[in-house]
Amino acid sequence: MPDIIQLLPDHVANQIAAGEVVQRPASVVKELLENSIDAGSSIIKLIVKDGGKTLIQVVDDGKGMSVTDARLSFERHATSKIKSAQDLFNLHTKGFRGEALASIAAIAHVDMQTRREEDEVGTQLKIEGSNVVAQEVTVTPKGTSISVKNLFFNIPARRNFLKSDQVELRHITDEFHRVALAHPEIGFSFYNNGSEHFNLKSESFRQRIVHIFGSKINERLVPLEEETEVLKINGFVIKPEFAKKSRGEQFFFVNGRFIKSSYLHHAVVAAFEGLMRAEMRPAYFIKLEVDPATIDINIHPTKTEVKFDDEHTLYALLKSTVKHSLGQFNVTPALDFERDKNLDTPYAFQNKEAIQPNVSVNPSFNPFESHNLGSGNFQKKSVEGWQDLYAVSKKNMDCFSSVQFESETKDHELFESENVAFDNGPSTFQLRRKYIVTKVKSALLVIDQNRAHQRVLYEHYLKSISDENVLSQELLFPIEIKLTAKEFSILEEISDKLSLAGFQIVFRAEHKVVVEAIPPSISEKNIGELLHDFIKEFDEYGTEDQFDIEFTAKSLAKAMAIKNGQILEHESQMALVNDLFGCVEPKLSPFKKLTYITLNENELENNFL
Lowest mean pLDDT among 22-26, 535-539, 595-599: 535-539
C-beta of residue 33 within 8 angstroms of C-beta of residue 46: yes
The stretch 492-506 carries a mean pLDDT of: 83
Q: Is the pLDDT of residue 543 over 70?
A: no
- For residue 418, the model assigns a pLDDT of 42
Q: Which of 11-15, 356-360, 603-607 has the lowest mean pLDDT?
A: 11-15
Question: Residue 65: what pLDDT?
Answer: 92
Of the candidate ranges 75-89, 135-149, 417-431, the one whose mean pLDDT is the lowest: 417-431
Q: Please give the Cα distance from 392 to 200 (Å, whole number).
A: 85
Arithmetic mean of pLDDT, 545-560: 74
Higher pLDDT, 26 or 530: 26
CATH topology of domain 10-200: Heat Shock Protein 90 (3.30.565)
417 pLDDT higher than 50: no
Same fold, 10-200 and 206-328: no
Could you give the 3-state DSSP secondary structure of residue 75?
A: coil
What's the distance, Cα to Cα, between the start and end of the chain in Å? 89
Among the residue ranges 269-278, 319-328, 489-498, 573-582, the one predicted with the least confidence is: 489-498
Question: For a pLDDT cut of 90, what percent of the chain falls above it?
Answer: 37
Which residues, other chains included, contact 462 with Cβ-Cβ below 8 Å and sequence gap of 6+? 549, 550, 553
- The alpha carbon dihedral of 568, 570, 571, 574 has a sign of positive
DSSP 473-539: EEEEEEEEEE--HHHHHHHHHHHHHHHHTT-EEEE-STTEEEEEEE-TTS-GGGHHHHHHHHHHHHH
pLDDT score for 422: 47
- Would you say the pTM of this structure is higher than 0.85? no
- For residue 411, what pLDDT is reported? 45
**pLDDT at residue 387 above 70?**
no
H helix count then E strand count, the chain: 17, 22
Q: Where are the alpha helices (DSSP H) in 336-473?
A: 370-373, 394-397, 449-467
Helix ranges, 108-225 (H): 156-160, 165-182, 205-213
Summarize pLDDT for 442-459 with one digit per residue, the tens.
788 999 999 999 999 999
Q: What local confidence, expressed as pLDDT, does residue 514 receive?
A: 93
Query: Using CB atoms within 10 A of its CB, is residue 584 exposed (0-12), middle (13-18) or buried (19+)?
Result: exposed
CA distance 412 to 398: 29
Kindly list the domain boundaries of the chain, sorted by start residue: 10-200, 206-328, 447-596
CB 496: neighbour CB atoms within 10 A?
A: 10
Closest CA to 224 of 92, 333, 335, 331: 331
Higher local confidence (pLDDT), 250 or 365: 250
What's the rounded Cα separation, in Å, for the pair 545 and 9?
A: 36
CA-angle at 553, arms to 551 and 554, nearest 5°: 65
Is pLDDT of 351 > 80?
Answer: no
Lowest mean pLDDT among 130-139, 255-264, 385-394: 385-394
Least confident of 92-106, 260-274, 479-493, 533-547: 533-547
pLDDT at 334 over 70: no
Residues with Cβ within 8 Å of 302's Cβ and at least 6 positions away in sequence, in order, are 21, 27, 30
- Residue-wise pLDDT tens digits, 188-232: 999 999 888 899 999 999 999 999 998 889 999 999 999 998 899
Q: Which CATH class is domain 447-596?
A: alpha beta
206-328, what's its fold? Answer: Ribosomal Protein S5; domain 2 (3.30.230)
Q: Which helix (H) or strand (E) holds 600?
A: strand 596-600
pLDDT at residue 527 in the model: 83
Distance between CA atoms of residues 280 and 449, nearest Å: 23
- Average pLDDT over the chain reads 81
Using the predicted structure, report yes or no on whether residue 564 has a pLDDT greater than 70. yes
